[in-house]
Chain A
Amino acid sequence: MSKRYLVPIVYVIFLMLPIYWLVNMSFKTTNEIINRFSLYPHEFTLASYRTIFTDPSWYGAYINSITYVALNTVISVALALPAAYAFSRYRFLGDKHLFFWLLSNRMAPPAVFVLPFIQLYSSVGLFDTHLAVALAHMLFNIPLAVWILEGFMSGVPKELDETAYVDGYSFPKFFVKIFIPTISAGIGVAAFFCFMFSWVEMLLAKNLTSVAAKPIVAAMTKTSSASGYELGLLAAAGVLTLIPGAIVVYFVRNYIAKGFALGRV
C-alpha cells in the first residue's frame, strides 16, 4: 500500500471520532456521563433510546421531519424536471437572466428569510404545517435541482429527442418513457441534494413550526432546557438523525463522485 493513502485514512479517522463519541455517549447512563471519563460505556444502557421510541413528542418529531423532507424532495424534483429540460433544450425570452436569478436564491442567507417567511405563511394559513417547511426549503432546493438536472440533461444528445419524435412519440410520452429513465442518475443526485439540505437545515424548520409539525431538530433543543442537561438523550437523538443520511448516501454511493461535480466536469 502506498504511503499517500495515509492522508485519506487519517482524515476518515478524524471524521469518525466525534461520531464515535456521540454513539458512545448515547449508550451511557447519565450517572456515568457526569461522573467519569470513559472511552466506552461501562454501564451499557438503552434507556435513552427507549425514551425516544416511547415518547410521542420524540418519535413524532422524527416523523414530522421525514414528512416535510419527503414532500420537499418529491415536489422540488418534479417541478425542476420540466424546467431543467427547457433550459437544456431551448432558448427563450430571458432564459439566462431567469437561470441566474434562480441560482441567486441559493446565495440568500436563511436568516434573512426567517421573519418574512413566518409572516407570509401565517397570512396564508400554512404556519406550523409540513407544507410550510417544505415550501421554505424549496427556495433553496429548486434552483439547485434545476442546476444539477440541467447539467445531466445537457449531456444527453438532442438526437435522442428527435429520433423519438420520428418514431411517433408525443412529448409527454417521450419524456416519461424515454427521457426520465435516461437521466435517472441525475434525478438520483438531485434528490440526494434536496434531501441533504432539507434534512440538515434547522433555522427555518424550527421557526416555521410550533407544535403540530415540530421537527426533530427543534425537539432536540428541549434536552438542554426542560429537565437539566440530558446528554445521553441528546446523543441518542443525534445518533438516530444520522441513520437516514447514512441510508441515502449508501444508495447513491456510485453516483457521489459524478453528482458532486453536478454533471458538469
Chain B
Amino acid sequence: MNKTFNNKAWWMVLPVFLVVAFNALVPLMTVVNYSVQETFGNNEFFWSGTIWFQQLLDNDQIRASLGRQIIFTTVVLFIQVPLGLTIALCMPRKGPWVSVCLVLMALPLLVPWNVVGSMWNIMALPDIGLLGRTINAMGIHYNYTRDPVAAWFTVVLMDVWHWTSLVVLLCYAGLVSIPDAYYQAAKIDGARPWAVFRYIQLPKLKHVLTIAILLRFMDSFMIYTEVIVLTGGGPGSATKFLSIDLVQKALGGFDLGPAAAFSIVYFLIILLTSWLFYTLMMRNEAN
C-alpha cells in the first residue's frame, strides 16, 4: 500500500510511545546505571567501570547456565518445529473437527505457566503421577527430583506439551491460506506428495515458520516459571537456566551490579540472535 507522508501521525502513536517508554526506558536506564556502579547500601553508589562485565565473562556458574540454556533451546526447537509442522500437515482442512482440534490444541497456551509446572509435577511424580508411575512400571528407574537425565527429559517433555501447539497453529494458518489452484496445478502435473510439500507448501510457509522459530527461540530462552515450579532448577543445578540464575542474583542476593551486567548481556544475546536470524531469512526472500 502506498502511504502518504504525514508527521501528524505521531499524535496517534504518542500514547503507545509514552507508555512503552515509561515501562522500557526507565528500567533499562536503571539497569545500565547499576551495571557500572558498586554499592555498599545506604543508596551510595561508586563508579566501578566494567568490572561486573569482566566478572560475568569469568564466571563459570553463569557460563554453565548459558550452556544449559543453549542446549535446551536447541533441543526444544529441533523437536517442536518439525513436530508442529507434521501435525499441521496432517490436520483436516475442512469440517466440524477443525474447530475442535484448534480449540483443544490452543488450550495449553492459555494455562498459567506456574500451573503448567504444577501439572507436570503431579503428572511426573514417581509414585502417584501417571507418567512417573508408567515409566517406573516399564522397569526404567525414573525420579526427576533426583536424576538430572530424568529432570531434563521431564522439562523438555513439558515444554513440548506447552508450546508445540503454537507452531501447529501458525503452520496451520499458513497452510489454509494457500489457494486451491496451487494444489490443482500440482495434481495436473502429477506431482508426488513430497514435491507438493517441497515446492508449494514449504515456500508458502516460510513466513509463518520464521515467526514460529523466532517466537519459540525467544520464549524458550526466557523460560523461568515452568522450570522453577517443576524442578526449582535442580537437581543440583542441572536445569538452572539463565532466567533462574538471574532472578536468584537480582532478588535473592540483591547483587545489583552483577545482576544488571548479566541482564544487559542476556537481553543483547536474544536481540542479536533474533535480528541475525530475521535478517538472514528475509535476505533469502529478497533473492
Contact check, A111 vs B250: say whether CB atoms are below 8 A apart: yes
Contact check, B102 vs A253: say whether CB atoms are below 8 A apart: yes
Known contacts A4-B90, A93-B7; is A253 also within 8 Å of B103 by CB? yes
B259: min CB distance to chain A, Å: 7
Please encode chain B, from 117 to 154, with 1 for each CB lying within 8 Å of some chain A CB and 0 for all others. 01110110001111101000000000000000000000
In the complex, whether A47 has a CB less than 8 A from a CB of chain B is no
In the complex, whether A261 has a CB less than 8 A from a CB of chain B is yes
- Bound-complex Cα distance A234 to B99 (A): 30
Please encode chain A, from 66 to 104, with 1 for each CB lying within 8 Å of some chain B CB and 0 for all others. 000000000000011011011111111101001000101
Known contacts A112-B263, A221-B114; is A86 also within 8 Å of B27 by CB? no
Given the complex, which residues of A lie within 8 Å of B267, measured CB to CB? 107-109, 112
- Bound-complex Cα distance A25 to B6 (A): 59
In the complex, whether B196 has a CB less than 8 A from a CB of chain A is no
Given the complex, which residues of A lie within 8 Å of B246, measured CB to CB? 109, 111-112
Closest to B205 in A: A265
In chain A, residues 3-55, which have Cβ atoms closer than 8 Å to a Cβ of chain B? 4-8, 11-12, 14-19, 21-22, 25, 33-34, 36-37, 39
Contact check, B4 vs A17: say whether CB atoms are below 8 A apart: no
Which of A33, A220, A242 is in CB contact (< 8 Å) with B114?
A220
In the complex, whether A212 has a CB less than 8 A from a CB of chain B is no
Given the complex, which residues of B lie within 8 Å of A108, measured CB to CB? 24, 267, 270
Given the complex, which residues of A lie within 8 Å of B247, measured CB to CB? 111, 114, 203
Contact check, A33 vs B128: say whether CB atoms are below 8 A apart: yes
- Bound-complex Cα distance A91 to B101 (A): 41
Give how many B residues have a beta carbon under 8 Å from the other chain's beta carbons: 91
Which of A92, A111, A250 is in CB contact (< 8 Å) with B103?
A250
Contact check, A115 vs B170: say whether CB atoms are below 8 A apart: no
Chain B at the A interface: SS class: helix
In the complex, whether A178 has a CB less than 8 A from a CB of chain B is no
In the complex, whether B280 has a CB less than 8 A from a CB of chain A is no
A162: min CB distance to chain B, Å: 11
Apart from A12-B101, A110-B243, A203-B224, what 11 extra A-B contacts exist at CB < 8 Å? Answer: A7-B90, A14-B161, A21-B123, A88-B1, A92-B7, A93-B7, A98-B17, A116-B27, A119-B30, A201-B112, A234-B118
Measured CB to CB, the residues of A under 8 A from B are 4-8, 11-12, 14-19, 21-22, 25, 33-34, 36-37, 39, 79-80, 82-83, 85-93, 95, 98, 102, 104-117, 119-120, 135-136, 138-139, 142-143, 146, 154, 158, 196, 199-203, 207, 216-217, 220-221, 231, 234-235, 238, 241-242, 244-246, 248-250, 253-254, 256-262, 264-265
Measured CB to CB, the residues of B under 8 A from A are 1, 3-10, 12-13, 15-17, 19-20, 22-24, 26-28, 30-31, 86-87, 89-92, 99, 101-115, 118-120, 122-123, 127-131, 133, 161, 164-166, 168-170, 172-174, 176-177, 207-208, 211, 218, 221-222, 224-225, 242-243, 246-247, 250-251, 256, 259, 263, 266-267, 270-271, 274
